[in-house]
Amino acid sequence: VAFSPNGETIVTASSDKTVKLWGRDGKLLQTLTGHQGYVWEVAFSPDGETIATASSDKTVKLWNSWKFDRLHEWACNWMRDYLENNPDVSESDKHLCDGVGDGKSEVKSK
């Protein structure tokens, strides 16, 4: 278990080969996959932008945490209309992106 420098995010290692990011309120924010063995160690960089993980598969991975929030917001903004208006989407799934982004974000290239 590690806490982000700002105290807003908790990252946990797991025997199910995943790394999970949690909000301070206990809400699951993101599940990271990629290790082939138990994840033994997790740590945030001092600036909170990168997460380092170590696994029994003898690998260390670096995850750029700011990209997760941005990707999540972009994905929700892209899918929001579909989720809310498609009659084949379950009622609970219609609200998967509630509270994420503003529905107006754009992906801009440099």
Domain spans in the chain, listed from the N-terminal domain onward: 2-65
Render pLDDT for 49-65 as a digit per residue (tens, 0 to 9): 889 999 999 999 998 85
Q: Does the domain formed by 2-65 have CATH 3.30.70?
A: no
pLDDT at 101: 66
pLDDT at 43: 96
100 close to 73: Cβ distance less than 8 angstroms: yes
Q: From the CB of residue 7, how many other CB atoms can be counted at a distance below 10 Å?
A: 9
Residue 77 binned pLDDT confidence (cut-offs 50, 70, 90): confident
| Pairing mode, strands 39-44 and 18-23 | unpaired
